[in-house]
């Protein structure tokens, strides 16, 4: 497979390279692509230097798969150009997620809808991915009626600019360049992820609403969310309150979660065992704990869900989509076509 990584010099692009290497994704030719200011620089993959190419060069290379993590405006302009030369695009931005013609994929849930004629594939938002991995197996059994979501999201989800702001504030030195947030992030919590919309919610909060319904194929679920940025490096945490359509048994709930793909249950209160972002860092799983009934409503359940937002929330999910495409012969190397 000829594989391009678009935005290779960014935070998620670098993690994509790590995940491709760790999972031994078979690559005959790596095509690292970034903005004009990075063209010509070298990146290292599996001990070999690769010069960074421009987007134009990337298209001319006709990769079989292109993993995009370069922002929505780049994706809107360039994903169709890659698709036009036969490339399968897995896009990590929000550009295509709610396009009815573009599949929005979490492989554990809905990779079965992928087909050879859908060349642009959307990777969901990081906070959505980890949540639906935990919710889907329960939804299939009990049916979700309503969700109340509170997220506690790492500043790494905002990108390199946020990392620079946090580190400058932590170290007590002047910030070089524009700050990512309107307030300090070091030793602070900011209830403001992405831009505010006319309804008073942020774009991040509404992503949790719309993307969850699309991925679970359940437009009827009632969802409300509050997203908070916190000074944590390791990943995103979520408190999720679920109201099911049907009664549930707690032992069965635990069994369902323990046997679901991609989930690790950490819920031993006697030993103070529960998911934490520091422990989830650099891991691909979704960790679930604090599993307990909501005693204030019928059929209510509370979950605490944690995952590394740069891994399963972005890079790992993208690579898993690519693996599914190859494994199921949806994409076949253009070298042999």
Catalytic residues, by residue number, are: 126, 236
Taking the CA atoms of 77, 79, 80 and 82 in sequence, report the sign of the dihedral they define.
Answer: positive
| CB atoms near residue 191 (< 10 Å) | 12
Q: Closest Cα partner for 146 from 303, 290, 299?
A: 299
Report which of 106, 94, 85, 135 is spatially closest to residue 291, judged by C-alpha positions.
135
Could you list the beta-strand ranges (E) of 86-213.
88-91, 120-122, 144-154
Q: How far apart are CA 278 and CA 292, in angstroms?
A: 23
Please name which of 153, 165, 136, 163 lies closest in space to residue 257, comparing C-alpha atoms: 136
Tokens of 149: 């979501």
Q: At 107, phi and psi to the nearest 5?
A: -55, -35
């Amino acid at each position: 497979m000829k594989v391009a990584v678009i935005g290779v010099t960014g935070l998620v692009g670098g993690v994509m390279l790590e995940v491709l290497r760790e999972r031994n994704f078979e690559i005959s030719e790596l095509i690292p692509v970034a903005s004009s200011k990075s063209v010509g620089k070298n990146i290292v993959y599996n001990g070999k230097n690769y010069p960074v190419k421009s987007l134009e060069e990337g298209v001319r290379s006709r990769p079989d798969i292109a993993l995009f993590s370069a922002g929505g405006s780049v994706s809107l302009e360039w994903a169709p150009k890659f698709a036009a030369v036969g490339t399968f695009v897995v896009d990590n931005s929000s550009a295509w997620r709610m396009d009815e013609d573009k599949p929005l994929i979490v492989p554990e849930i809905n990779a079965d809808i992928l087909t050879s004629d859908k060349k642009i594939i959307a990777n969901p938002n990081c906070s959505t991915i980890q949540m639906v991995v935990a919710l889907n197996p329960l939804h299939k059994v009990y049916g979700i009626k309503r969700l109340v979501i509170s997220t506690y999201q790492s500043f790494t989800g905002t990108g390199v600019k946020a990392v620079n702001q946090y580190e400058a504030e932590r170290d007590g030195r002047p910030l070089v360049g524009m700050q990512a947030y309107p307030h300090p992030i070091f030793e602070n919590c900011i209830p403001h992820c992405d831009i505010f919309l006319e309804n008073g919610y942020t774009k991040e909060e509404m992503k949790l609403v719309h993307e969850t319904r699309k991925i679970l194929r359940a437009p009827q679920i009632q969802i409300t969310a509050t997203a908070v940025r916190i000074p944590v490096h390791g990943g995103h945490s979520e408190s999720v309150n679920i109201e099911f359509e049907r009664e549930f048994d707690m032992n069965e709930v635990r069994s369902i979660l323990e046997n679901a793909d991609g989930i690790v249950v950490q819920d031993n209160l006697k030993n103070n065992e529960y998911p934490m972002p520091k422990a989830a860092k650099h891991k691909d799983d979704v960790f679930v704990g604090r599993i307990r009934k909501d005693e204030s409503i019928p059929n209510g359940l509370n979950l605490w869900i944690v995952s590394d937002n740069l891994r399963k929330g972005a890079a790992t999910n993208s690579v898993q989509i690519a693996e599914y495409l190859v494994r199921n012969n949806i994409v076949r190397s253009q070298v042999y076509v």
